[in-house]
Amino acid sequence: MAKKQDSGLKNRKADYEVVFASKAGSRVLADLMVQFHMGRSSHITGDSHETAFREGERHVVLHILDMMGKRSSPDWLNEKLDQGEIEYSVIQEFS
């Protein structure tokens, strides 16, 4: 059973890589990173509900990066930065 689950996870990770590694997918991922608080604080002073909501949005992007194995990959981020696909503020999250 564990082998089947491992195979399913590998397939899903490969699917994420195919989708988000394409040119269009990279642009969509970069947009998600900018829109959902990847380069700035998601904390809203005095509003714990809004903070939690924003963290939930941010977590989705982190999950995508995790599935691609890119969450802690400065080379990948630097490449997207050089290509203008990710705003400079996003890279600060991973420094």
- Cα dihedral 56, 57, 58, 63 sign: positive
Comparing 29-43, 52-66, 71-85, which segment has the lowest mean pLDDT? 71-85
How confident is residue 86, by pLDDT bands cut at 50, 70 and 90? low
Query: What is the C-alpha to C-alpha distance for residues 18 and 39, in angstroms, rounded to an integer?
Result: 24
If you search the block for the tokens 């963290």, which residue do you land on? 55
Query: Is the predicted pLDDT of residue 87 greater than 90, yes or no?
Result: no
- Cα dihedral 58, 22, 31, 41 sign: positive
Taking only the tens place, the pLDDT of each residue in 9-47 is 899 999 999 998 888 888 888 888 888 877 678 889 999
Comparing 25-34, 44-53, 70-79, which segment has the lowest mean pLDDT? 70-79
- Specify the pLDDT at position 1: 52
